[in-house]
A = this chain, B = another copy of it.
Amino acid sequence: MISLLNNRRTIRKYTNQPVSNELLSELLNAAAQSSNTGNMQAYSVVVTTDAEIKKNLAPTHFNQPMITNAPVVLTFCADFNRFTKWCEQREANPGYDNFQSFMAAAIDAMIFAQTFAVAAESAGLGICYLGTTTYNAGEIIDILNLPYLVVPVTTITVGYPDETPPLTDRLPLESIVHFETYTDFTSDKIDQLYAEKENSEFYKNFATENKKETLAQVFTDVRYTKKNNEFFSEKFLNVLKKQGFLD
């Protein structure tokens, strides 16, 4: 199990083999047994296999090829729609149209999504997360007919692997783990934690190909720019308002 987690790779190329409904149900059932807030199960997943709908979703994910090439696309949502409808039918006054409820539902959706991902990988499937989901959540809502109090949080593409990419590097564990309380980083410590990454041929080439002097500039100037982050922040906050999770 630990070995499975240590040797996982994100898979972006899939064979033509479809994923059976039986297997999908088994994996989703197992994922649903993981923790959630107060057992309200304030999450949902839309399982899309239809070529036409995947084609419609593709631009919302900046036409990353996984959306159309993967046999299955799973859109995981923070979802207080079903729970709220149940309350209304039971003489109970629901109060889940607010930001705290969105956070609880989004956390639950992520626990559910990641347990599904681990289960899928243990069954020999390959998965890829699409962070574009929160960029274009409004468009995804329209395509998938998501009602009030439902917001997509992440997307996973799934299929049988048609590639074996190398393991992806990670920073030393001390970059992400703090003991007892948080120990902030000195500039020497930052240099030390990033040294291996910055000295690797792979990342040196990555910076050169992107015509940047430092690896960090590839992130700030090309991949995750301040301008884009601010643009998509505004967009996502408006989606939260429209779906009822923010005043």
Residues of A at the B interface (CB closer than 8 Å) are 1-2, 4-8, 10, 25-35, 37-41, 43-50, 53, 79, 81-83, 85-87, 89-96, 98-101, 103-104, 106-107, 110-115, 117-119, 122-123, 127-129, 131, 134-135, 143-147, 150, 153-154, 167-171, 173, 175-182, 184-185, 187, 190-191, 193-194, 213-217, 219-221, 223-227, 229-230, 232-233, 236-237
Contacts and interface: CB of A to CB of B under 8 A. Distances in A.
A9 to B, nearest CB: 9
Tallying the copies of this chain within the complex gives 2
A81 B45 contact: no
15 contacts: A2-B27, A2-B123, A5-B34, A38-B219, A39-B168, A41-B171, A85-B185, A86-B193, A89-B191, A89-B216, A98-B230, A99-B233, A104-B131, A107-B153, A145-B182
Contacts of A87: 216, 219-220
A46 B176 CA distance: 8
A58 B220 CA distance: 39
